[in-house]
Amino acid sequence: MALQNGDYIPKQPRITAVITDEGYPWSAKIYLDGEEKAATLDQVSQTRLEAYYQVETDLAGEDETTHVIRVWARDYTGNESTREVAGLKVSYRDAEMSEPPVTSSPTFSPRPDGSAEIT
């Protein structure tokens, strides 16, 4: 299934692009967040080229919260095409504390049943 804008991706996805063209797909490039990546190309047949890139960094640990994948392809006759998917969100991110934890005063004393009321 093809990615759509706004989809969720794993924190270290394997990006796979399948290029099909009757004009013999010749070349492809994969970009992540505007940076060209070292994609592996596999000429499956005269009408099918596959490009792969395994993300090795942890996308969940970055300041960027959304990502863009762009694939560029060219066939033997020189025709070019680009497909971009934007707004991709990482499906897993470690929890972060944005506020200090709630603390109690030294005289805090829970009720005998273990419940408490915080005011």
pLDDT tens-digit map of 55-81: 998 888 777 789 999 999 999 999 999
**Sequence spans of domains, the chain:** 8-90
Name the residue among 20, 73, 72 with its Cα closest to residue 46. Answer: 20
| Percent of the residues in the chain that have a pLDDT greater than 90, as a whole number | 57
Give the residue from 45, 13, 47, 49 showing the smallest Cα distance to 28: 49
Whole-structure pTM over 0.85, yes or no? Answer: no
Report the DSSP pairing between strands 25-32 and 80-90.
unpaired
In this predicted model, what pLDDT tens digit does every residue of 52-62 receive, in sequence order?
A: 999 998 888 77
Report the CATH fold assignment for 8-90.
Immunoglobulin-like (2.60.40)
Q: What gap in Å lies between CA 104 and CA 26, rounded to an integer?
A: 66
